[in-house]
Amino acid sequence: MCRLDYCPPETLRDLKTEPAYTEADTGMPLPKTQHACSVCLPTWDAVLGYEEKRDKVVRRMRAGYPRFFLHPATERLFAEATRALAEKGSRVVVFPTRDAAQRAQRFVEKRTGSASRIASYEGLQALVVSDADYAVAMEYWRYTGEIVSSRQAERVIHGNEPKAFRVRSLRSRLAALGHYAWEDIFLYENGMASMFAIYRVLTKLFPGKKSLQLEFPYVDAMRVQNFFGNGVVFLTEAEGESFEEALRRISKGEFSAVFCEAPSNPLLRTVDIEAVSKACRDGGVPLVVDDTICSVANIQVDKYADVVTSSLTKWVSGKGDVMAGQVTLCPESPMYSDLVEFFQEDCPDGSRLFASDARVLARNISSFNRRMRESNASGEMVADYLLAHPAVEKVWYPKFTTPEFYEGIKRKGGGYGGLMSFVLKNRKKSAKFFDALRVSKGPSLGTDFSIACPYTLLAHYDELEWAEGCGVDRNMLRLSVGSEKSEDLIARLEEALALV
């Protein structure tokens, strides 16, 4: 059982990836954090400082989510490649493959009109851009997830070759979690790289068409559809007359693909996937479903979707120390043969994971089913508690939010997951509550320790009015419940809620 981690709100000294306790405090070994996928932002003001890039916050950060914040090893790799390859006034962004570097080059040149070049560097590929264009190149790194992991960066820096890893075994173990065929599982650097690969093949198969996004999505899923391909049509809430109109347009084959999360993040809404699937089959439009938020342990969508995408970084790994993404092809899809052909070429041997990352993921998934049972049980009790609390105005959780559609995809024996969002009745007390809440604070989810964050501030700080127009309150709090005992977590929530 993982102990609740806590970063004291009265100081910024714990603004880092290391937990704010020692092995002597817990009586158990602490998780390794040198390749952490998240960061502790212990106070509301620290979150604002991170978004506003205040020096007193940013300079204390040792690591962060790798698509947004370069790990020290990756930063050193970039610096060494820059010294080796770039002339004055230029910088280097390193990518894992030649194809990824070329896609980044096209993205930068289209956005800036400037020339750039690609060079090989220690088995990787370096995109050399001007100082002025570096930020645009890093946008590609962030949006697409085609990144070099910190373990891979360390391998280059220290000149060590990783031990070989049998990826067939890992694919088989992941396939077994959802009762899939291992040949239909393809592994990518992270969840966004998986989603981007799906987007690339579908825009290739259906050129000239926009995609359709149903329900409020994770921020970069929308940005991929906006910045690549032909744009996106966005339906904030898949219900009512607008939804019926969307189904008619899908049935006519107007879109290159339909994307949805089941359930969505952070509103935990589930679309009527059966109705969407029927319209997609009628119109010959592929349906892409992201099952990350509740995980394959709780929901089954492959009978409705053409392809399923998952961020293994979250619940499946559960440790916050490795990134990975999964594409699952659905054999009953009319597009199956075209999709298989693309992914066999795009993802050689079924995996683009660095061997050391694959090894860590394989170790972590051994406890997946137990962790999900614990998170399901604690998550439901915590959500029930918050729903009944007089200081809480609203709770978003699959048990309460569009339950009729969630139940239609819930696996036998599955639960509602550990992720929920909520708002306080007194919004002005949100910061005080957050600062007092004694759990880990950060932007990720799905770890075996609970994590809280002011979601809208972290994900949509530069577009708060737009987010609120989509039903995402700027003071929304998101809580990912881990494997702790529910009574311990509820006691900590009660302690913080007593202040509001």
Domain covering 23-65+367-497, topology: Aspartate Aminotransferase, domain 1 (3.90.1150)
- Token output for 207: 């050129």
Is the pLDDT reported for residue 19 higher than 60? Answer: no
Q: What is the mean pLDDT of residues 475-483?
A: 97
For the cut 70, the answer to whether the pLDDT of residue 21 exceeds it is no
| pLDDT tens per residue across span 167-225 | 999 999 999 999 999 999 999 999 999 999 999 999 999 999 999 999 999 989 999 99
User: For the chain, what are the domain ranges?
Assistant: 23-65+367-497, 72-158, 167-365
Q: Which residue has the tokens 């499946």?
A: 316
Could you tell me whether strands 117-121 and 124-130 are parallel, antiparallel, or unpaired per DSSP bridges?
antiparallel
Least confident of 24-33, 67-76, 85-94: 24-33
Max intra-chain CA distance, the chain? 63
Looking at residue 229, what is its pLDDT? Answer: 86
- Residue 290 and residue 195 in contact, taking contact as beta carbons nearer than 8 Å: yes
Task: Provide CB contacts within 8 A for 79, sequence distance 6+.
Answer: none
The pLDDT-based confidence of 152 (bands split at 50, 70, 90) is very high
Q: Please determine, looking at this structure, whether the domain spanning 72-158 carries the CATH number 1.10.10.
A: no
Angle at CA of residue 360, ends 158 and 2, nearest 5°: 120
Q: What is the separation, in whole angstroms, between the first and last Cα of the chain? A: 30
What pTM was estimated for this model as a whole? 0.91
| % of the chain with per-residue pLDDT over 90 | 86
pLDDT in tens, 408-446: 999 999 999 999 999 999 999 999 999 999 999 998 999
What pLDDT shows up at residue 265?
96
Instruction: Give CATH for domain 167-365.
Output: 3.40.640.10
Which residue type sits at 109? E
In this prediction, residue 39 carries a pLDDT of 73
> How far is the C-alpha of 418 from the C-alpha of 441, rounded, in Å?
16
